[in-house]
A and B are shown apart, each in its own frame.
Chain A
Amino acid sequence: MRNRSLIYYLLLILLLSGTGCEKYIPFVNAPVFEQKLVITSFISPSDTLSRIYVSSNQRLYGFTEQPEYPGDLTGTISDGTNEIELDTTSFGLSFSHDRMPVIPGKTYTLKVASSNGLYAEATATVPQQREILIKVDTTTRETDDYMTVSILALDIELTDYPGEKNFYNVIGKLTGYKSTSNQNSIKSIRYWFEYIDDKVASPDNRIKLESWEVPSLNNYDSAFIDIILLNTEESYYRYHKSLKNYDSGDNPFSEASPVYSNIEGGLGIFTSYTVDSLVFRLK
């Protein structure tokens, strides 16, 4: 159906029947604002420094130009045995892996407090470092749209690690370079993101992704693709899937689709992953 969804017809009828019934009611009480810490942090053994981005949620109703600040921050990170104070930064907090190594299989507890009286905490368990086989094939196929065009497609297949529950994030970044007459390079970038729950694996543990269609490379002198494979916690998967499915809630007749959070007393995400990556040249 050409860009007309079912909701279009239904809302048209409602509009026709309800025109003129929209009223501003000044005494509708908006929900009360409760300030909370917003924490975003992805920790991995492959980093040397773990960043904890901390901000505050903002008012939705009333005068919205005055931002809310979290206040002065303090925090700790613990691996169940040791606990260290976090360093204050411009973006929130951080800790060096020299002081607290991030080790696969360990569980870390993050606690953050602010001078405004706000407090939040969360835990993350680092996945084990697994050898995940990743296979990338390039194929050429013809599209069946209005005219026949040959396109390059990337077919990616993972071999799931058996015997445990796994979640994966496969990120593709295509970078094309073109030299110009003044020696500068123009580059163009395209991304792909796949969030995978291993329940989709076949009985022989293979997970086949949908093909990534690569746009035409005719305008570029060279092109590279980075494929990053993250083995993540479930919370990482749920957070990104919920972001992908996020519905701003403008349709009053459908269920709101909130973004997942594992921060107790706050909002955001504290989660973990291990990483593997490939880079290869397409042109």
Chain B
Amino acid sequence: MLKRNLSLIILFVFCISSARGQSQGKHTVSGFVREAGSGELLTGVNIYLPDHRTGTITNNYGFFSLTLPAADSVEITASYVGFRSETRRVSFHSDAEMNFDLKPNVMLDEVKITAEKTERISESARMSTMSLPVAQVKNVPSLLGEKDVMKVLQLMPGVQKGSEGSSGLYVRGGGPDQNLIILDDAIVYNVSHLFGFFSLFNGDALKSIELTKGGFPARFGGRLSSVLEMNMKEGNKEKWHGEGGIGLISSRLTLEGPLVKNKSSILVSGRRTYADVILSPILKATEQTDAGYYFYDLNAKVNYDFGRKNKLYLSGYFGKDKFHAKFDEGYDEKGGLNWGNATATLRWNHLFSNKLFANTSAVFSDYRFGITYELKDEVNKEDFFAEYYSGIRDLSLKFDLDYMPSPAHWIKAGAITIQHRFTPYVFIEIDGPANINKKEKERTNGLESGIYIEDTWKPLANLKINGGMRFSHFLASSEQYHFFEPRISAGWKLPSDFAIKASYASMNQYIHMISNTGISLPTDLWVPTTDRVKPQQSRQVALGAVKDLVTPEMSFSIEGYYKKMNNVIGYKEGATFIQIEEAATGEGISWEDNVTSGRAWSYGLEFLIQKKEGRFNGWIGYTLSWTQMQFDSLNFGKKFYARYDRRHDLSLVGTFRLNKHITLSGTWVYGTGNSVTMPVSVYSAPEYADLYIDNYNSSSNVKEYGQKNNYRMAPYHRLDLGIQFHKQKKWGERIWEISVYNVYNRKNPFFYNIEYYSFYGRSHTRLKQVSLFPIIPSFSYSFKF
């Protein structure tokens, strides 16, 4: 294994050397691509040179570089979805600098399809990757009008939601803890508001959203199943703008503008729900209880452009959910539940040369949830306070290099180190002024590191390969682990914009999320790999074909994958992690004793037909998949289907611009029901003492469950429709949106209950389905200025 890994590293060094050799006797054209009117740097812009029939794309910071043979001049076209292409010609007797300011398409103008200059999926080496335009998130109808990045991602093939309303992502058979979710380089651990019904990503603050499900480049690591990389907007460097919205349960406002024109800008975006304001008077009147719930998000970013060679960014996210209740039962009793994330990223872009770009990031990320309880009884002289909290905090340093020596090579290399601090729980109890009892589970630190190198190499005109190696390391308190992770993906372009792609990726995951519920709860704990709980590992292969159409501009893709996972975490039967009473004694909670390790297999086929431009755009995504697991200590050691094993998953998404003022949108989703464990019969299970100890009777009738996840819930399907009314005003634009969630009021299963009832005096039992969201109309008002 070591010999093979060393051979791969030597091969890469050779590639770099040959790349440098190829670049001699040539000139380099480089520059940045921005959005005209705001100065926002654009990622993934296609830079094409028709004379040379070659090109590249801008990196995450809008930078591109191409090294070509010297010529009198060279014509360069920059094109990007949603923007007007721009073509310029520049003299090429020496290295040239060329920056582009692309103008957004004016809405509803006929879009000229210049497909030969637009980036096509068939030309990329990467596969299993989806870029989601932020504008598309805002057009898709949503629950209560709350636009949600995660909910739109769940409409993509290969991505499933866990349960009704959940924000969790289940990607190619992986659980929600196997997704690396990054916002401006900071890892976000809990992405849910209101127990998973909404995610914490405010689309107004985002610039780019990219999901990778397989064929992972070497720069990504630490999770098995997906990487969701989101970048915040920098803020308009030319003039002040704002946008916002008022919805049924929350409102939002984003302000962005220059601090120093064309040099520095700031963006602040906030959102808050007012469910507490609405519910509180109702609860007081009906239950004599004062209870409420709210959440808020705050995104902020400031940046300074020191010039071509240096740029500095500081961004942060702060969000919180808080539930509180006060009971009026003759004494003062109140409780609260709160959870939240905080992240901060300081980034420095430095251009060493017109071929070598570097980014250095220092990142802070913190997730914490807590429960408080207080009792003051003046009559009985009782005064009691208790607090329980748990969380994870990261400090990390990241360095990435982009080296573009020639059109045939784009080399990336870098390193990252993350210091994790895990706090399984802290419990504080104050019973009277003199009795303070604090019990703290020993905090655990873990150091996770990675170093990588990768190259996107074009050895032949029709062949593009992204190959790389990542070395990952984890230092736990008493153990350390390290692995080489080879990665490769390749695309072979055939005539007529058709391509075949294949990939292989080896991944390791050193931190785990444990939860014993089927829904996303803030009580999900993040814990480290230990000497008893090994790192989770996966190997994934994928094979696919894609076809780009020019007119109309559409793409078709079909992709098959097989993923094998080892050391996946499962929960022992009867395990529970939410026992406050045990926390009070400081005993009993050992998460390592409650989990077990096993294996999982996931395989399937994904189909995607996508249209990105034009008055009508959208996609059809279908996934046929299987996900099975096996644990020695569960289900008698036999294989079983994962809870989120979903045989068929279909999404139809469409947006149609009827005219300048009206946009229609709709989605229809269908999914096979989740696999759950249902009891099948009941029987008597006496203890030894029932049979052999006099006078002992434990009255033990228990349910038989049969095979784990033996029951398939009813299928899930739902239709959402929306209509937007746009109007240009002197001060900007306003949009009224009316949408209906679950148009035909489908009663989708949330969970099942057993109900006992009497029918003509005889006892019967039946399964009762509990559904969550009926037909829900909503309206919202949005504005831009």
Interface residue ranges, A against B (CB under 8 Å): 1-2, 4-7, 9-10, 12-14, 16-18, 20-25, 28-34, 36, 38, 40, 42, 51, 53, 55-65, 169, 171, 173, 189, 191, 193, 228, 230, 236, 240, 242-243, 245-250, 252-259, 267-269, 273
Contact A256 B705 (CB under 8 A): yes
Check A38/B765 contact, CB under 8 A, given A2-B384, A173-B693, A267-B704: no
Query: A107 to nearest B CB, angstroms?
Result: 20
Name the contact of B371 in the complex, choosing from A6, A56, A242 (C-beta under 8 A).
A6
Interface-side segment among B251-259, B568-576, B597-605: B568-576
Contact A247 B683 (CB under 8 A): no
C-alpha spacing A239/B680, complex, angstroms: 19
Contact A247 B574 (CB under 8 A): yes
Contact A4 B751 (CB under 8 A): no
Which chain A residues lie closer than 8 Å to B753 at the CB level? Answer: 250, 252
- Interface of A, secondary structure class, is mixed
Q: Which 8 pairs across A and B sit closest by C-beta, in order of nearness?
A: A245-B574, A252-B751, A257-B574, A253-B517, A57-B683, A57-B681, A25-B769, A258-B705
Which chain A residues lie closer than 8 Å to B265 at the CB level? Answer: none
B580 at the interface (CB under 8 A from A): yes
Contact A2 B680 (CB under 8 A): no
Which chain A residues lie closer than 8 Å to B13 at the CB level? Answer: none
B766 at the interface (CB under 8 A from A): yes
Name the contact of A16 in the complex, choosing from B279, B687, B752 (C-beta under 8 A).
B279
Interface residue ranges, B against A (CB under 8 Å): 194-195, 197, 279, 283, 291, 293, 323, 325, 335, 337, 371, 373, 375, 384, 386, 388, 516-519, 521, 523, 571, 573-576, 578-581, 584, 677-689, 691-693, 695-696, 698, 700, 702-706, 710-711, 714, 747, 750-755, 762-774
Name the contact of B695 in the complex, choosing from A62, A189, A254, A273 (C-beta under 8 A).
A189
Contact B680 A33 (CB under 8 A): yes
Which chain B residues lie closer than 8 Å to A29 at the CB level? Answer: 767
C-alpha spacing A220/B518, complex, angstroms: 51
Which chain A residues lie closer than 8 Å to B692 at the CB level? Answer: 42
Name the contact of A245 in the complex, choosing from B371, B573, B689 (C-beta under 8 A).
B573
Name the contact of A253 in the complex, choosing from B584, B679, B702, B751 (C-beta under 8 A).
B751
Q: Which residue of B lies closest to A240 (CB)?
A: B687
C-alpha spacing A220/B773, complex, angstroms: 60
Contact B584 A1 (CB under 8 A): yes
Check A28/B769 contact, CB under 8 A, given A1-B373, A257-B573: yes
Check A31/B584 contact, CB under 8 A, given A236-B688, A245-B573, A256-B679: no
Which chain A residues lie closer than 8 Å to B581 at the CB level? Answer: 1, 5
Check A21/B373 contact, CB under 8 A, given A12-B291, A60-B703, A189-B695: no
C-alpha spacing A56/B576, complex, angstroms: 31
Contact B691 A40 (CB under 8 A): yes
Contact B763 A259 (CB under 8 A): no
- Interface of B, secondary structure class, is mixed
Which chain B residues lie closer than 8 Å to A252 at the CB level? Answer: 518, 751-753, 770
C-alpha spacing A1/B375, complex, angstroms: 10
Query: A252 to nearest B CB, angstroms?
Result: 4
Contact A193 B689 (CB under 8 A): yes
C-alpha spacing A78/B202, complex, angstroms: 69
Check A21/B774 contact, CB under 8 A, given A61-B767, A268-B683: yes
Additional pairs, 11, CB under 8 Å, beyond known A22-B770, A25-B747, A60-B754: A12-B291, A20-B774, A21-B750, A31-B706, A59-B765, A62-B764, A169-B688, A230-B688, A240-B688, A255-B516, A255-B571
Query: A13 to nearest B CB, angstroms?
Result: 6
Check A10/B195 contact, CB under 8 A, given A61-B767, A245-B574: yes
C-alpha spacing A13/B338, complex, angstroms: 13
C-alpha spacing A65/B581, complex, angstroms: 39
Contact A255 B575 (CB under 8 A): yes
Contact A60 B686 (CB under 8 A): no
C-alpha spacing A57/B696, complex, angstroms: 23
Which chain B residues lie closer than 8 Å to A6 at the CB level? Answer: 337, 371, 523, 578, 580
Contact B711 A38 (CB under 8 A): no
Contact A22 B768 (CB under 8 A): yes
C-alpha spacing A273/B689, complex, angstroms: 13
Name the contact of A243 in the complex, choosing from B194, B521, B685, B693 (C-beta under 8 A).
B685
Name the contact of A256 in the complex, choosing from B279, B373, B573, B576 (C-beta under 8 A).
B573
C-alpha spacing A22/B521, complex, angstroms: 21
C-alpha spacing A251/B575, complex, angstroms: 13
Which chain B residues lie closer than 8 Å to A65 at the CB level? Answer: 762-763
C-alpha spacing A253/B602, complex, angstroms: 24
Name the contact of B769 in the complex, choosing from A23, A34, A53, A268 (C-beta under 8 A).
A23
C-alpha spacing A200/B30, complex, angstroms: 66
Contact A60 B751 (CB under 8 A): no
C-alpha spacing A29/B751, complex, angstroms: 14
Query: A195 to nearest B CB, angstroms?
Result: 10
CB-defined A-B contacts under 8 Å, sample of 18: A17-B194, A24-B766, A25-B714, A36-B683, A38-B684, A42-B688, A53-B691, A58-B683, A62-B766, A64-B764, A173-B696, A191-B696, A228-B693, A242-B573, A253-B751, A258-B705, A259-B702, A268-B683
Name the contact of A34 in the complex, choosing from B388, B680, B766 (C-beta under 8 A).
B680
C-alpha spacing A53/B690, complex, angstroms: 12
Query: A260 to nearest B CB, angstroms?
Result: 9
Contact B765 A62 (CB under 8 A): yes
Which chain B residues lie closer than 8 Å to A249 at the CB level? Answer: 677, 679, 703, 705
C-alpha spacing A173/B584, complex, angstroms: 29
Which chain B residues lie closer than 8 Å to A193 at the CB level? Answer: 687, 689
Which chain A residues lie closer than 8 Å to B696 at the CB level? Answer: 173, 191
Q: Which residue of A lies closest to B371 (CB)?
A: A6
C-alpha spacing A246/B574, complex, angstroms: 7
C-alpha spacing A228/B711, complex, angstroms: 42
Contact A21 B751 (CB under 8 A): no
C-alpha spacing A230/B751, complex, angstroms: 42
Query: B676 to nearest A CB, angstroms?
Result: 8
Contact A256 B677 (CB under 8 A): yes
Contact B702 A58 (CB under 8 A): no
Contact A25 B681 (CB under 8 A): no
C-alpha spacing A267/B702, complex, angstroms: 11
Which chain B residues lie closer than 8 Å to A240 at the CB level? Answer: 687-688
Name the contact of A61 in the complex, choosing from B291, B325, B765 (C-beta under 8 A).
B765
Q: Which residue of A lies closest to B754 (CB)?
A: A60
Name the contact of A13 in the complex, choosing from B195, B523, B767 (C-beta under 8 A).
B195
Q: Which residue of B lies closest to A37 (CB)?
A: B683
Check A59/B681 contact, CB under 8 A, given A1-B373, A25-B747, A256-B573: yes
Query: A78 to nearest B CB, angstroms?
Result: 23
Contact A58 B681 (CB under 8 A): yes
Which chain B residues lie closer than 8 Å to A55 at the CB level? Answer: 683-684
